[in-house]
Amino acid sequence: MFPSTSPDTGRDPWADDARPGPAGPSRGYPPGPRTGPEDGSGERPGRKGPRRLRKGGPGRRPDDESADAPEEEGPPVPVRRSLALTVAGFAALLGVGLVLGAQTAGPGHRLPFAFIVFGVQVLFVLAWAMAVRPPALLVVALVSAGAAGIADAAAVQSEIAGLAPLGYAAAAGFVLGVLGQLVRRVDRVRVTDSLGSTLLIVVGVVSFASLIVLSRIPKGTQAITVCLTATGVALLVARLTDAVAPWPRLAPQVPRGAAGVVVGAMLGTLTSAVLGSFLVGFTPTSAALVGLVTAATAVLADLAVGYAEAGRLMAGEPPTLWIARHMQGPLGGFALAAPAAYAMCVLFL
């Protein structure tokens, strides 16, 4: 028989809440994992997000990323209209001088054109040496001018019209320029970093002599007229467009627009095609082809000079003489267009 009363009679009834457990851990069992917050707020104090693993360093929280965010860029460099018009005028005068000088060249009468080319080479050396500022600046400038004179003389006096004497003159000028920088201990420290700038000045100034070589081959004078006219028009239109509508900006630090580069190359090509319909030995198609190459090369070289100048200013280097800085672009464009014109004439005409 069962007892009439429950075994629990006389004991205190359990409360509505959960049965109280022991204060310490149960005997014989490890403490269970902590599943609730420490202070009941639902979030651990001092922790705002999961930690992220970072290679080579401690974990990183999302709120730390705001501290490492890059600073906002400053306002773009303003485009000075008067300066753009001045550079455009200089490019036009440079093109007119070289084209008219090429018309004076003839069998046995190439010295006048050589003197015009040498004057442009002197301007190139002064502008680029002042802008790039290699070690032993005076030595590099004198050696580059000497290499230009030797290249011009070789282009006029050589029996066979070719670029080999110009290559020898450029190599000799580069070696002498580097040796001149190694003489002084102060310049010797920077000579490794300045090899590219020294080579650029020497090769750029010698490249103008390819115009003299081009005037000695058949169709060379007509090719100079077509190519340098396209180059001058391209640089002129590109700078004029920057003075009126410098958009879209290619970089905030460079006061140039993409519209000027594109429109300049297109109008330079159109001008060469028009000239090709009047010159003997050319067609509008062939003239447009060589004009496109030289015009595009010139405007891109001019644009690259602007990027190089902006890079030097962002690196903390002091700005160069303003007249040399703004002559650098058109001179660089014609220096690169000269060998391009020679290559197009030899390969496609």
- Which of 23-27, 73-77, 260-264 has the largest mean confidence? 260-264
Mean pLDDT over 6-35 rounds to 49
Question: What's the confidence (pLDDT) of residue 16?
Answer: 47
Mean pLDDT of the chain: 82
Question: What's the confidence (pLDDT) of residue 260?
Answer: 95
The pLDDT confidence band at residue 79, using thresholds 50, 70 and 90, is: confident
From residue 209, give the alpha-carbon distance in Å to each of 107, 110, 151, 181, 307. Answer: 17, 12, 6, 25, 27
Is 71 inside any structural domain? no
Using the predicted structure, report yes or no on whether residue 72 has a pLDDT greater than 80.
no
Is 10 inside any structural domain? no
Is 203 inside any structural domain? yes
Mean pLDDT over 15-39 rounds to 49
Question: What's the confidence (pLDDT) of residue 194?
Answer: 79
Is 85 inside any structural domain? no
Give tens-digit pLDDT for 325-339: 889 999 999 999 999
Using the predicted structure, report yes or no on whether residue 22 has a pLDDT greater than 60.
no
Total tally of structural domains belonging to the chain:
1
Pairing between β-strand 254-257 and β-strand 57-60 as defined by DSSP bridges: unpaired
Amino acid at site 95: G
- Host domain of residue 195: 91-348
Compute the distance between CA of residue 187 and CA of residue 133 in angstroms, rounded to an integer.
Answer: 11
- Torsion over CA of 113, 114, 117 and 123, rounded to 10 degrees? -130
Give tens-digit pLDDT for 184-209: 776 667 777 678 889 999 999 999 99
CA quadruple 183, 187, 193, 196: dihedral sign: negative
Q: Any residues with CB less than 8 A from the CB of 224 and at least 6 apart, and which?
A: 98, 99, 102, 211, 214, 215, 341
Give tens-digit pLDDT for 213-267: 999 998 899 999 999 999 999 999 999 999 998 889 888 999 999 999 999 999 9
CB atoms within 10 A of CB 314: 9
The dihedral region occupied by 108, where left means phi > 0, alpha psi between -120 and 50, and beta the remainder, is: left
Mean pLDDT over 28-35 rounds to 51
Amino acid at site 168: Y
The pLDDT confidence band at residue 73, using thresholds 50, 70 and 90, is: low
Global pTM reads 0.78
The pair of three-digit structure tokens given for residue 277, joined into one six-digit string? 């319909």
Using the predicted structure, report yes or no on whether residue 301 has a pLDDT greater than 90.
yes
Compute the distance between CA of residue 189 and CA of residue 203 in angstroms, rounded to an integer.
Answer: 23
Give tens-digit pLDDT for 95-142: 999 999 999 887 778 899 999 999 999 999 999 999 888 888 899 999
Is 161 inside any structural domain? yes
Question: What's the confidence (pLDDT) of residue 349?
Answer: 74
The pair of three-digit structure tokens given for residue 264, joined into one six-digit string? 């300049």
Is 69 inside any structural domain? no
Is 53 inside any structural domain? no
Strand partners, 60: 52
Question: What's the confidence (pLDDT) of residue 67?
Answer: 45
The pLDDT confidence band at residue 294, using thresholds 50, 70 and 90, is: very high
Give tens-digit pLDDT for 158-184: 988 899 999 999 999 999 999 988 887
The pLDDT confidence band at residue 314, using thresholds 50, 70 and 90, is: confident
CA quadruple 100, 340, 345, 88: dihedral sign: negative
Give tens-digit pLDDT for 32-57: 555 544 444 444 544 545 554 454 44
Question: What's the confidence (pLDDT) of residue 57?
Answer: 46
The pLDDT confidence band at residue 302, using thresholds 50, 70 and 90, is: very high
- Alpha-helix residue ranges (DSSP H) falling in the chain: 62-65, 81-103, 111-132, 137-157, 164-183, 185-188, 195-207, 210-214, 220-244, 258-276, 284-314, 322-348
Is 176 inside any structural domain? yes
The pair of three-digit structure tokens given for residue 323, joined into one six-digit string? 């007249």
Amino acid at site 29: Y
